[in-house]
Amino acid sequence: MSVDKQTVKRVAHLARIAVSDDEAEALKGDLNAILGFVEQLNEVDVEGVEPMTSAVEAEMRMREDVVTDGGKTADIVHNAPSTRDGYFLVPKVVE
């Protein structure tokens, strides 16, 4: 499979990254090189193989269902570019 410039632009929009026409052209080449490289996976017989979902074979640990953390509003907004009264500020979303 290979991608064209329009597809690159569509995927960039899905990823919320603005790309110029020149960037899209360069990315098209890079993406096609990578997609060409991974194509060899089609040679592998994966019939009946369960996809790996975890690198460790360990049972998920359970803990008491209690609140263990919280009350950190100041910490949470500490690094935000724009805040007011413990809230994140963003450009207007709803008219």
Partner 1 sequence: MTDLTDLGIGAIRDGLAAREFSARELTDAYLEAMEATRALNAYVAETPERARAAADESDKRLAAGEARALEGVPIGVKDLFCTEGVHTQAASSILDAFRPTYESTVTANLWADGAVMLGKLNMDEFAMGSSNETSCYGPVVNPWRSADSNADLVPGGSSGGSAAAVAARLCAAAIGTDTGGSIRQPAAFTGTVGIKPTYGRCSRWGIVAFASSLDQAGPITRDVLDAAIMLKSMASVDPADTTSVDRPVPNYEAALERGVKGLRIGIPKEYRMDGMPAAIETVWQQGEAWLREAGATIEEITLPHTQYALPAYYIVAPAEASSNLARYDGVRYGLRAGDGDVTEMYEATRSAGFGKEVKRRVLIGTYVLSAGYYDAYYLRAQRVRALIKRDFDIVFDAGIDAILTPATPTAAFAVASMATASPIEMYLNDIFTVTANMSGHPGIAVPAALTDDGLPLGLQLIGKPFDEEMLFRVGRVLEDAAGHFTPKRWWS
Three-state SS at 5: helix
Sequence letter at residue 39: E
Residue 55 vs 67, nearer CB to partner 1: 55
Helix (H) / strand (E) containing 38: helix 21-38
User: Is there binding between residue 13 and partner 1 (CB under 8 A)?
Assistant: yes
Burial class (CB in 10 A: 0-12, 13-18, 19+), 8: buried
Per-residue binding string, partner 1, 31-70, x by CB under 8 A, is x-xxx-xxxxxxxx-x--xxxxxxxx-x-xx-x-------
Quote the least distance from Cβ 28 to partner 1, whole Å.
Answer: 10
User: Is there binding between residue 6 and partner 1 (CB under 8 A)?
Assistant: no
User: Is there binding between residue 71 and partner 1 (CB under 8 A)?
Assistant: no
Sequence letter at residue 21: D
